Structure 1
Amino acid sequence: MAAPVTPPRGMRDFLPSEKAKRDAVLGKIRSVYRRFGFDEIETPVVEDAKRLHSGLGGDNEKLAYAVMRRGLDVADLHAASTPLDLADLGLRFDLTVPLARFFASHRGQLPTVFRSIQIAPVWRAERPQKGRFRQFVQCDIDILGEAGPIAEIELIQATAAAIDALGVRDTVIRINDRRVLTSLLASWNVPATAADAALIVIDKLDKIGPSGVAAELVELPGFSGWSSADLAATLEALAAADWESAREASWIDRAAFSDLEAIRASLPDLPIRFDPTLVRGMGYYTGTIFELAHPDLAYSLGGGGRYDGMIGRFLGVDVPAVGFSLGFERIVDLVELDHEADADAVVLLYDNDVDARDLARIKQSLVREHRRVRLERRAKNAKNQRAALAEQGFRQVGVVTAETADGPIEFRPLS
């Protein structure tokens, strides 16, 4: 017996019904984003390998798929000191680095403040597991050129509206600022040289809890004055912090917290929770960071933040930038959509003795009427056949026999 033929690990096929649902969800997201004034762009699936490995992508760079140069020979293999020496291109691991390159390439053709939509697949050499795939779709909106908190406000508004349009309820926006994290570490007397390592550990709080994070932190340089128990208690208190308690905290960065409060005040109808332990793993964030959380899920449904330093790496001139990415693969599993049948979709059931020329003529005439038409041979089990067609979104059926092929086709409901 032949072995099953499956896609590569971490990648998936989608049946027509699954693809239809994904397209419907994406359509709702696109529609909302466009109403909020964002414009969709498209970039290549590959970028220059040096650009993808320039330090902008954090740990994701380690997961990037490299594309080997054409025309390599044995001498090239022996001369290479690392595998990347053999690559000139790579599959994009996110949409932010390509956007930064895109803006640098086309800045003269874009508005001073550019609101971008990118909805496209990305690739990472992840270890496949539940909720983690090697190919997946990202839904990004970004605002480039706006330094004030109005950019964050617009992004959160649009994201919340998109989630609401999909019927996903009870989500919460967790918000923080990298400047708040910097001031927090400074209050712990953590040297700047250990700050990045400390943030990587704190970012594990949702996974390993305060005790687990504290145990790792005390092993880092700069935590010699802390006991694991004291640090765990401090982390528990921080995780329970709210707007009022943070406002009185001695360690808070006042300017950053003021910006966060301005965002909150501008969105009074949205549940926005201040979380001083929120890190977001990408090292390119420079200011506000946020995540979309759901009380019933252990993982976020999206996130983003401000990355003011990235575009300057390509352009030579700093451009403020902030973005919000929805975790589409996680969201699409939560969404329940009624199967939206196409009112103009019909099925022509035909007998074996019907001339193919008649079928072609009838179908063509219906297509010209802007109908979606399926030709299907009439099965012996009519009940099962009709049920399957109804499940696929068809609502009307017409029967073509050799005797009726020349006349008008009568359509009836499938149910």
Structure 2
Amino acid sequence: MKIDNSPARGTRDLLPAAVAVRDHVLSTITEVYGRYGYQRIETPALERIERLSGGEGGENEKMIFQVLRRGLPDRLEAGTELAELVDLGLRYDLTVPLARFYGQNRAELPTPFRSFQFGPVWRAERPQKGRYRQFYQCDIDMIGEPGVLAEAELIEATTDALNRVGLTDTTVRLSDRRFLATLAAEAGVAAEAQDGFFIALDKLDKIGWDGVSEELVRRGFPQDVVTAARDRIEALGETPAEKVADMLGDVLPTLPQEVVADLATTTSCLSQISAEQAVRWEFDPTLVRGMGYYTGQIFEVAYPGAAGSVAGGGRYDNLVGRSLGTDVPACGFSIGFERIVDLLAAPPSGQRLAVLYDADVPTPRVLAAARDLREGNRAVAPVRRSGKFPAQLKRLEAAGFTAFVHLRADAEPGTRLEERLLRQE
């Protein structure tokens, strides 16, 4: 029986050149976040299924890869419920595991706790270009800070990291789930129906107002409610950044003053950040974000040419409390690692030297030559001579080598090896 050697559907292999780009992006982000005081942690890929399916993961809960319990018999009785067979699942993001991590380790962590995570997550997506069933996320979170210092610092650190990676000219889009709840209520949307309302609104950038209105009506929302919501959103859509706080009070009279004050503080910080970094910002009254655990300000980073946002996050004050029995203020930002890597197609520059040795050169001599050439922390690897010389040089270049030395069997020991570039500029 012939075995299919292709990777599982919705996953992919990564060649060395692609991994080099990923390593470069990760090391840059890690260095920046470290300067802001964020500490790297790791959480397991597997979580208890009841935590992953607790109702706060939005649409992602429909895409959990569930893991069968150990010790199940080969045959099951008719009518066996799926819940009886499953006890674990693969994590679909890094925030839900972080909440469990903090609840378990709180006594050993500082307040506020600045966390940095990088690792794979899994979602049973329909495979297509840019969407994978296994992909990597890169998150920073601040737990224990109730004020908007958390929001402002997370945005500053993340836009700084994106700039240093090479994504400049980004735009931060800002909104607030409390603002959205007030907008929906003033438009006549009942509290228990707001989740469905926001799910449709979140598609505005893809299907436009006509499509959103059609879906809302199909979901049972009266046309006058849809019109009232649209009128309020459009009244704020063209608001200059410096007048957002004033306009919010005018358009939504019942919006709590605390929300207005928080947004005013964050927008003031964003104005300072944009003056120092290559980044713009705007208040986006249509920004929803799909996760059900957000409780306050939410934000995304857009980049010219990207199909969607390259980073996103927000405040989730209720999620950590599930593990403690008391609410803990928390705010996080997730970088779209895969999307960023795809935007940075060129691998980072760096010298890789091949020690091209003849077959009859003794192995100790080959290894000694490579060892001497590694001084200065450059990458050096021995490669046996084979085939036609020009063809092998092309293969070396394709493999990522930038230069080579030729170690001949007839050369005197101690002879200085001449380094040659594989590509002449």
Does TM, scored on the shorter chain, surpass 0.5? yes
Deviates more, 1:67-76 or 1:5-14: 67-76
* Identical pairs, percent: 45
**For 1:260, which of 259, 263, 270 is the aligned residue?**
263
Question: In the aligned structure 2, how far is the partner of 1:89 from the partner of 1:205?
Answer: 35
Residue identity in the other structure for 2:250: A
Mapped pair 1:340 → 2:354: no
**For 2:316, which of 302, 307, 314 is the aligned residue?**
307
Deviation at 1:359, TM superposition (A): 2.7
Where 1:105 maps in the other structure, the secondary structure is: helix
Question: In the aligned structure 1, how far is the partner of 2:4 from the partner of 2:238?
Answer: 50
Residue identity in the other structure for 2:262: D
Query: What's 1:40 paired with?
Result: 40
Query: What's 2:97 paired with?
Result: 98
Query: What's 1:67 paired with?
Result: 67
Residue identity in the other structure for 1:195: Q
Deviates more, 1:296-305 or 1:128-137: 296-305
Residue identity in the other structure for 1:69: R
Structure 1: runs of 5+ lacking an equivalent: none
Answer yes or no: is the 8 Å Cα contact 1:49–1:66 preserved in 2: yes
**For 1:399, which of 406, 411, 414 is the aligned residue?**
406
Deviation at 1:211, TM superposition (A): 1.0
Q: Flag the 1:141–1:239 CA change in 2: closer, same or farther, 3 A.
A: same
Question: In the aligned structure 1, how far is the partner of 2:394 from the partner of 2:312?
Answer: 41
Question: In the aligned structure 1, how far is the partner of 2:170 from the partner of 2:119?
Answer: 24
Q: Flag the 1:42–1:386 CA change in 2: closer, same or farther, 3 A.
A: same
Query: What's 2:277 paired with?
Result: none
Question: In the aligned structure 1, how far is the partner of 2:345 from the partner of 2:309?
Answer: 19
Query: What's 1:319 paired with?
Result: 328
Question: In the aligned structure 1, how far is the partner of 2:51 from the partner of 2:412?
Answer: 62
Question: In the aligned structure 1, how far is the partner of 2:128 from the partner of 2:345?
Answer: 23
Q: What are the residue-to-residue correspondences of 1:5-404 with 2, within 5 Å?
A: 5-74=5-74, 76=76, 78=78, 80-82=80-82, 84-223=83-222, 225-226=224-225, 236-243=234-241, 244=243, 246-247=247-248, 249-251=250-252, 253=255, 254-268=257-271, 269-270=273-274, 271-335=280-344, 337=346, 339-342=348-351, 345-363=352-370, 372-390=379-397, 392-404=399-411
Answer yes or no: is the 8 Å Cα contact 1:351–1:402 preserved in 2: yes
Deviation at 1:368, TM superposition (A): 8.0
Where 2:342 maps in the other structure, the secondary structure is: helix
* TM superposition score normalised by structure 2: 0.89
Residue identity in the other structure for 1:169: T
Answer yes or no: is the 8 Å Cα contact 1:394–1:414 preserved in 2: no
Answer yes or no: is the 8 Å Cα contact 2:56–2:292 preserved in 1: yes
Note the alpha carbon deviations across 1:71-129, whole angstroms, 9 max, x for none: 101565546312x3212211111000100011011111100100000011100000011
Residue identity in the other structure for 2:81: S
Deviation at 1:152, TM superposition (A): 0.4
Q: Flag the 1:210–1:236 CA change in 2: closer, same or farther, 3 A.
A: farther
Deviation at 1:377, TM superposition (A): 2.1
Structure 2: runs of 5+ lacking an equivalent: 275-279
Residue identity in the other structure for 1:121: P
Question: In the aligned structure 1, how far is the partner of 2:406 from the partner of 2:284?
Answer: 62
Answer yes or no: is the 8 Å Cα contact 2:17–2:347 preserved in 1: no
Question: In the aligned structure 2, how far is the partner of 1:334 from the partner of 1:24?
Answer: 13
Answer yes or no: is the 8 Å Cα contact 1:399–1:410 preserved in 2: yes
Answer yes or no: is the 8 Å Cα contact 1:341–1:393 preserved in 2: no
Q: Pairwise CA RMSD of aligned residues? A: 2.5
Question: In the aligned structure 2, how far is the partner of 1:58 from the partner of 1:260?
Answer: 25
Note the alpha carbon deviations across 1:312-338, whole angstroms, 9 max, x for none: 111112110000001111111112556
Question: In the aligned structure 2, how far is the partner of 1:266 from the partner of 1:60?
Answer: 32
Deviation at 1:293, TM superposition (A): 1.2
Question: In the aligned structure 1, how far is the partner of 2:416 from the partner of 2:40?
Answer: 43
